């Protein structure tokens, strides 16, 4: 799809995610309730947006700048891509910094609800874990690559989910670690 004159003027003939100036095309950030859902993407960003895995992580570091766009559709696409890259520490840090108002967050989450049935994270008791939940460690865990132990009873707040249903991520002693779901219970 070629760029409309209005979209071309808004983006100054540059990709709205990475800033590339070649091979631009309009991409519709689907929405059930929003107007003006088209953004201009280069061929590389279009390929990344259409993928579900195997991302070019280095190319997508451009989200660091595009997530601050004043265009709602660009903010939503950046948030969706950061959600898909949640296994990358830098992407999780950017996601933690990103603020979207309720309406934009709901728009960004539309895609997440489509994928929700794919992976379920459950704690040791079978309770479903969601991103942002708080959990308690039920067993002393040696943390690989560090010299500390995550003690039993340690609360881990604002967890993130990974693509592996047996793993979650959270901060313990200021360090972001991966924790097996079988060693936590939802609090």
- Give the CATH number, domain containing residue 149: 2.30.30.40
- The band of 9, judged by pLDDT with boundaries at 50, 70 and 90, is confident
Provide the domain limits for residue 59: 5-115
Domain boundary pick from 70, 91, 115: 115
Residue 172 has phi, psi (to 5 degrees) of: -130, 125
Do 128 and 173 have their domain in common?
A: yes
Max mean pLDDT range (1-15, 50-64, 106-120, 127-141)? 127-141
Do 99 and 139 have their domain in common?
A: no
Q: What six digits make up the tokens of 165?
A: 């249903």
pLDDT beyond 90 at 29:
no
Do 12 and 76 have their domain in common?
A: yes
Q: How many domains does the chain contain in total?
A: 2
Do 98 and 132 have their domain in common?
A: no
pLDDT tens-place string over residues 157-170: 999 998 888 999 99
Do 89 and 106 have their domain in common?
A: yes
Task: Report long-range pairs for 153-157 (Cβ below 8 Å, ≥24 apart).
Answer: 155/187, 156/184
| Mean pLDDT for the stretch of residues 77-86 | 89
Do 61 and 139 have their domain in common?
A: no
Residue 143 buriedness (CB in 10 A; 0-12 / 13-18 / 19+): middle
Do 62 and 135 have their domain in common?
A: no
Residue 149 has phi, psi (to 5 degrees) of: -115, 130
Whether the CB-CB separation of 178 and 167 falls below 8 Å is answered with yes
pLDDT beyond 70 at 26:
yes
In this prediction, residue 56 carries a pLDDT of: 86
pLDDT beyond 50 at 150:
yes
Do 139 and 92 have their domain in common?
A: no
Q: What six digits make up the tokens of 18?
A: 């990475």
Q: What percent of the chain has pLDDT over 70?
A: 93
| Mean pLDDT for the stretch of residues 87-106 | 88
Domain boundary pick from 68, 100, 115: 115
pLDDT tens-place string over residues 98-130: 989 998 888 888 875 554 456 789 999 988 898
Do 51 and 78 have their domain in common?
A: yes
pTM for the whole thing? 0.59
Number of neighbouring beta carbons within 10 Å of residue 132: 10
Do 26 and 88 have their domain in common?
A: yes
Whether the CB-CB separation of 40 and 20 falls below 8 Å is answered with no
- The band of 53, judged by pLDDT with boundaries at 50, 70 and 90, is confident
Q: What six digits make up the tokens of 104?
A: 């934009």
Q: Where on the phi/psi map is residue 23: left (φ > 0), alpha (ψ -120 to 50), or beta? A: left
Do 69 and 110 have their domain in common?
A: yes
Rounded Cα gap, residues 137 and 152, in angstroms: 5
Domain boundary pick from 62, 84, 115: 115
Least confident of 84-93, 121-130, 171-180: 84-93
pLDDT beyond 50 at 138:
yes
In this prediction, residue 15 carries a pLDDT of: 93
Whether the CB-CB separation of 140 and 149 falls below 8 Å is answered with yes
Rounded Cα gap, residues 40 and 4, in angstroms: 10
Do 45 and 102 have their domain in common?
A: yes
Cα angle value 35/67/101 (rounded, 5°) = 55
């Amino acid at each position: 799809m070629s760029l409309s004159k209005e979209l071309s003027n808004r983006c100054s003939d540059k990709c709205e995610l990475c800033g590339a100036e070649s091979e631009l095309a309009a991409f519709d950030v689907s929405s059930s309730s929003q107007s003006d859902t088209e953004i201009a993407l280069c061929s590389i960003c279009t390929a990344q947006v259409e993928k579900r895995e195997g991302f070019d992580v280095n190319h997508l570091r451009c989200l660091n700048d595009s997530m601050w766009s004043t265009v709602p559709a660009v903010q939503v696409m950046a948030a969706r891509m950061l959600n898909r890259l949640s296994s990358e520490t830098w992407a999780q840090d950017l996601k933690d910094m990103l603020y979207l108002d309720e309406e934009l967050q709901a728009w960004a989450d539309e895609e997440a609800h489509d994928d929700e049935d794919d992976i379920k994270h459950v704690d040791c008791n079978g309770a479903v874990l969601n991103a942002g939940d708080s959990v308690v460690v039920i067993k002393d865990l040696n943390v690989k690559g560090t010299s500390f132990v995550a003690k039993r009873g340690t609360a881990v707040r604002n967890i993130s989910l990974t693509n592996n249903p047996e793993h979650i991520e959270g901060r313990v002693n200021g360090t972001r670690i991966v924790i097996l779901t079988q060693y936590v219970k939802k609090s």
